């Protein structure tokens, strides 16, 4: 709406054994196979965020094969999984933290290497209607160009989306 141009990189996809933290958030045994999809995101050509989403491999084995293809899923993975496997996102949990960037993040976002510009990390675990986690998305944003507004419940549109 603001006339800005968003863009995403082609996903980099890998299958890895899950680490302790990823396994715990997805309710898997440590070392269970997970599909990991990495993307770089831009606004007007400026690096804006890094996104990594992790899915249990059993979801691919049940038929969600696009998750292991290095292509964007234009309708989004939540819609794709609902349409393909009937997995409906019933809720999610976000954990938000602020920390110094690592070397990869500082380079991508063109931040000073001394950590004086922080990054914001969100970890969103998505759950189906039975309470089973099926996706963990970790997004990293540089704090010098991002602002978050969280609206819950009935918020007037003029406040919730002041650009309208």
Model pLDDT for residues 2-42, shown as the tens digit of each residue:
788 999 999 999 999 999 999 999 999 999 999 999 999 99
Burial class (CB in 10 A: 0-12, 13-18, 19+), 119: buried
- What was the pLDDT predicted at 2? 74
In the chain, % of residues over pLDDT 70: 98
Q: What gap in Å lies between CA 99 and CA 47, rounded to an integer?
A: 18
**Structure confidence by residue, pLDDT tens digits, 148-163:** 888 877 888 888 777 6
Q: What gap in Å lies between CA 96 and CA 54, rounded to an integer?
A: 17
- What was the pLDDT predicted at 150? 82
- What was the pLDDT predicted at 29? 96
For the stretch 145-148, contacts whose Cβ atoms lie closer than 8 Å and that sit 24 or more positions apart, written own/partner, are 145/46, 145/48, 146/48, 146/49, 146/120, 148/96, 148/120
142: which 2 tokens? Answer: 């540089």
- What was the pLDDT predicted at 163? 64
- What was the pLDDT predicted at 164? 53
């Amino acid at each position: 709406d603001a006339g800005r141009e968003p863009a995403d990189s082609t996903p980099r996809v890998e299958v890895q054994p899950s680490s302790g933290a990823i396994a715990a958030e997805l309710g898997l045994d440590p070392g269970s196979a997970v599909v990991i999809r990495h993307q770089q995101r831009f606004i007007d050509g400026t690096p804006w965020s890094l996104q990594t989403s992790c899915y249990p491999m059993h979801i691919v084995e049940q038929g969600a094969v696009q998750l292991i293809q290095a292509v964007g899923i234009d309708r989004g993975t939540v819609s794709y999984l609902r349409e393909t496997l009937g997995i409906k996102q019933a809720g999610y949990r976000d954990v938000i933290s602020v920390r110094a960037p690592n070397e990869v993040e500082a380079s991508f976002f063109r931040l000073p290497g001394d950590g004086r510009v922080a990054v914001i990390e969100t970890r969103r675990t998505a759950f189906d209607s039975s309470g089973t986690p099926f996706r963990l998305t970790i997004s990293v944003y540089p704090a010098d160009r991002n602002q978050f507004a969280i609206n819950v419940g009935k918020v007037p549109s003029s406040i919730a989306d002041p650009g309208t």
